[in-house]
Structure 1
Amino acid sequence: MALPAVIANLLMTAFHNVDTFWIGRSLGADALAAVTGAIFWVWLVISIGEMVSIGLDAVAARRHGERRPQDAARTVSDGFMLALLLGAAIAIATPFLMSWLFTMLGTNASVSTIGREYLGTYFLGMPLIFGFFAVDAAFRAKGDTRTPLWILAVTTILALVLDPLLIRGWGPFPAMGVRGAAMATLVPRGLGCLAGVLILKRRGMIAWTLPRWSVLATILRVGAPAAATGIVFSFIYVLLTRITTQFGTPALAALGLGFRMESVIYVASVGYGRCGGGYRGAESGGRG
């Protein structure tokens, strides 16, 4: 069960590393530094999405373990709607946060301007990113880590193709710079989210109902400690970025490269950890 999850995380890391290559090669050190600073805020916000993912995984896995597939399907619907609502709240707040976020990083005017373009585009797509997390959690809760791997593999290939086309421009594709880098992530994730929902519906693993507030509260309660951990850990990198900017743009760009290399080891361990909930749910028989 763990191996597909590890491979999925490594695929995402591979894309981000290729993304870093195209940004640095095509747009220069300022753009690479801007995306480096922005990505630490992305990581922090994604921790909020992981709150839904982890909570949904645990609650839905328990319903499967109790042999209550219909209730599990309703729980997936609850979690998916919660993910969309949280993602939409972040997207709505984005225009009001941009200046403050880069003031916190202490980046220069050029880097901050480029970073706002990237981060502003990325945060507007948060409903798609959070929705994809919920879809992934729904499969894991049933003990299925292969289906999300296939979805991610296809969408990653699409992202790898779109990345240079949207950053540099070619034929009908305009050169969008760092906005293109963000779009190369968001478009495949959105398609992956839609494909995952259709597969869940076809398998009877999601049942659209009005959100149940008690279930939403349980998902948040279970996922909140993990989210808090992720937020604190991410904020450490925000502070590190603020320190690094004192040594100039090349130093911040180098920090981003180091972070990408570090993430290869990190995401492998996360992949093993994520499959635990689905395994416990599938094997518990209702005892959990």
Structure 2
Amino acid sequence: MQAAMLKPVSFSSAYASVDEYRLLTSTIRSRAADAHGIFSMAGPGGGGESEGASEDESESESTGASTGASGDEPHLPLRIQLRGVFIELYMELRRYGAGPRIIGFRNTFENGQAPPEAYVRHVRDAAAPSGIRRTQELPFGGHRTDLERAAGVRRSGILLGRRPLGDAVMRLHRNRDPKSTAHGMLVLSVMLCEAARFPALGDAMSRIWMTGGRLPDALGAGNSSKRHPSKGVGAPKKERGPHRGLVSTPYDLRFPSWGSTEQERM
């Protein structure tokens, strides 16, 4: 069965407000739910995987869900405008709780049409969307661990926010080398796909949409805004337990270091 191509979603990132970013992730979530006739991409019960699941376990489950499908998952085109630059991302809306992922992209004109010389660059573990003739395979896969390995940086070390999203768009538009392209796809995957799949994660990232930062910054800002006055300076100290319930995702967001950088290696 041929995969369905859904109606494109458009987003102008240069001056987008945090509300526009939230609307975008909400739209991706609802389009995926409509495409599969389900209420939530996070699995039965809408709560996602258990909080204690590790990143490796989550990634293997996502991989299995993707490869175990029949290959007819619908594709959602997302057209992003950054001043005079236009690209079209192709999101594979996977089933079985795996959530969406970016499988390819190409440069376009303002009206969404592709230049005659434009190729759809797609990850090597997914075919290009049907009906597209000019394609080129990227030298890495589309799962998060594949992107981290190709980019040479972990998810906890990348910058997120409005400006980093624009930088990621430029990386894909130029497509100068696989490492830079993988870095751009990793940023977009976290800010679009993961934020759409896990609303609480999207809320955390919306706190750094204007200022920019890393996920630990977003989570720290969320915690400080909820501090009770009795927990301020001079308050009795209590033994700190493990952080729980920060974000309802299967990933462990207790990052090992606040000083991680984009040069953090695997």
TM category, shorter: under 0.3
Q: TM-score, normalised by structure 1?
A: 0.25
TM-score normalized by the length of structure 2: 0.27
User: Between Structure 1 and Structure 2, which shows a larger proportion of helix residues?
Assistant: 1
More strand by percentage:
2
